[in-house]
């Protein structure tokens, strides 16, 4: 445990330093308030701090006040040293935000006991900060997993729907175009029935990787379920969406799947947001386009 001692009186500072070192602590020293504050502003600095109340430069209570303002999940433990013995100086020390105080001249065993308490609390703070950090990153992972399709790594339906509501209302407010591409792999049941679900899953993954490669960063490519996919294209009119759909269709057709022994193709529907559309009506129209593509012989792009 590293402890910062800020004390302008050299004999006291040396005595404190030698005592704490003898008790097994690492010690950093500052001879005035400005030096102490400089050390505390370093990204890595002692969290256990013994501060003299009166020092040249920034005084003890002001350092505590500044520390309290900037510290986050990993607070400092501050012991203020006062010369006065009045109850008032004790109250002032604690009111300034200090955790504890000690009166000079101090008794060595009392100092040791108070530093031990500070050390214990600092370790608890550190353990707590570590747990908070782990909890926050776990929450982030859970948040991510809840929105990702496990097999393909694309957005799942929940993620699509959440983003769709936001993107649609923004498109409507700013009068920007918004298009959807609805996709269904052709005769996919035959792949599963003939070669099994493992091969079927590999085809779904290959197609998803192709989507990830071909869409822009702002597009939301999602697995809608089974062998159905949907792509949301903000700031895109239906002509550009249909051109992208055609590029995906032709790429998929031309790059035979390494997983499936026979060529798998896909059908595409494209629709653009129109006045009066809501989420449901736009999805209905893009699905109608997809059914038309299926009905007209599959492996094609139909725009409504």
Catalytic residues: 227
Stretch that binds Mg ion, among 49-57, 88-96, 116-124, 268-276 (CB under 5 A): 49-57
Stretch that binds Mg ion, among 51-59, 116-124, 187-195, 253-261 (CB under 5 A): 51-59
CB of 52 to Mg ion, least distance (A): 4
Nearer to Mg ion, 40 or 168 (CB): 40
Contact string (CB under 5 A) for Mg ion, positions 256-275, x = contact: --------------------
8 Å CB contact between 67 and 38: no
Count of Cβ atoms closer than 10 Å to residue 217 Cβ: 4
Nearer to Mg ion, 13 or 249 (CB): 13
Alpha carbons 178 and 171: distance in angstroms, whole number: 6
CB of 102 to Mg ion, least distance (A): 13
In Å, how far are 106, 115, 249 from 48, measured between CA atoms? 18, 8, 64
Contact string (CB under 5 A) for Mg ion, positions 227-246, x = contact: --------------------
Contact string (CB under 5 A) for Mg ion, positions 5-44, x = contact: ---x------------------------------------
CB of 148 to Mg ion, least distance (A): 58
By three-state DSSP, how is residue 32 classified? coil
Stretch that binds Mg ion, among 50-58, 64-72, 200-208, 295-303 (CB under 5 A): 50-58
Nearer to Mg ion, 54 or 117 (CB): 54
Q: Which two tokens stand for residue 104?
A: 């000079």
CB of 38 to Mg ion, least distance (A): 18
Alpha carbons 230 and 216: distance in angstroms, whole number: 14
101 is a contact residue toward Mg ion (CB under 5 A): no
How big is the chain, counted in residues? 304
Nearer to Mg ion, 60 or 118 (CB): 60
Q: How many chain residues interact with Mg ion (CB under 5 A)?
A: 4
Count of Cβ atoms closer than 10 Å to residue 78 Cβ: 25
CB of 93 to Mg ion, least distance (A): 13
8 Å CB contact between 24 and 46: no
CB of 69 to Mg ion, least distance (A): 23
8 Å CB contact between 63 and 46: no
Q: Detail the DSSP E strand segments found in the chain.
A: 2-6, 26-30, 48-52, 77-82, 100-103, 178-185, 220-225, 228-234, 266-272, 301-303
Would you give the distance in Å from CA 248 to the centre of its chain?
Answer: 32
Report the candidate in 287, 135, 176, 158 with the shortest Cα–Cα distance to residue 223.
Answer: 158
100 is a contact residue toward Mg ion (CB under 5 A): no
52 is a contact residue toward Mg ion (CB under 5 A): yes
Nearer to Mg ion, 82 or 236 (CB): 82
> Which of 15, 39, 54, 121 is the binder for Mg ion (CB under 5 A)?
54
Q: Which two tokens stand for residue 8?
A: 């302008």
Nearer to Mg ion, 54 or 202 (CB): 54
8 Å CB contact between 154 and 148: yes
Q: List contacts with Mg ion (CB under 5 A).
A: 8, 52, 54-55
């Amino acid at each position: 445990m590293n402890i910062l001692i800020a004390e302008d009186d050299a004999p006291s500072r040396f005595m404190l330093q030698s005592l704490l070192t003898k008790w097994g602590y690492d010690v950093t020293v500052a001879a005035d308030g400005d030096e102490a504050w400089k050390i505390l502003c370093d990204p890595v600095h002692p969290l256990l701090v013994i501060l003299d109340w009166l020092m040249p430069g920034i005084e003890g209570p002001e350092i505590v006040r500044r520390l309290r303002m900037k510290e986050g999940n990993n607070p400092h433990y501050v012991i203020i040293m006062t010369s006065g013995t009045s109850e008032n100086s004790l109250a002032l020390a604690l009111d300034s935000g200090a955790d504890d105080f000690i009166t000079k001249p101090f008794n060595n065993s009392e100092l040791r006991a108070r530093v031990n308490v500070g050390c214990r609390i600092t370790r608890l703070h550190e353990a707590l900060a570590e747990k908070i950090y782990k909890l926050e990153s776990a929450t982030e992972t859970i948040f991510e997993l809840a929105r990702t399709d496990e097999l393909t790594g694309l957005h799942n339906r929940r993620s699509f729907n959440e983003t769709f509501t936001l993107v649609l209302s923004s498109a409507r407010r700013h009068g920007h175009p918004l298009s959807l591409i609805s996709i269904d792999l052709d005769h996919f049941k035959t792949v599963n029935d003939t070669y099994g679900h493992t091969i079927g899953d590999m085809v779904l993954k290959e197609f998803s990787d192709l989507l990830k490669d071909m869409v822009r960063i702002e597009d939301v490519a999602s697995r809608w379920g089974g062998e159905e996919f949907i792509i949301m294209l903000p700031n895109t009119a239906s002509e550009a969406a249909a051109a992208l759909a055609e590029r995906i269709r032709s790429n998929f057709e031309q790059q035979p799947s390494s997983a499936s022994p026979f060529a798998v193709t896909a059908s595409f529907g494209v629709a653009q947001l129109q006045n009066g559309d809501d989420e449901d009506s736009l999805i209905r129209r893009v699905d109608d386009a997809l059914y038309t593509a299926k009905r007209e012989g599959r492996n094609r792009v139909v725009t409504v």
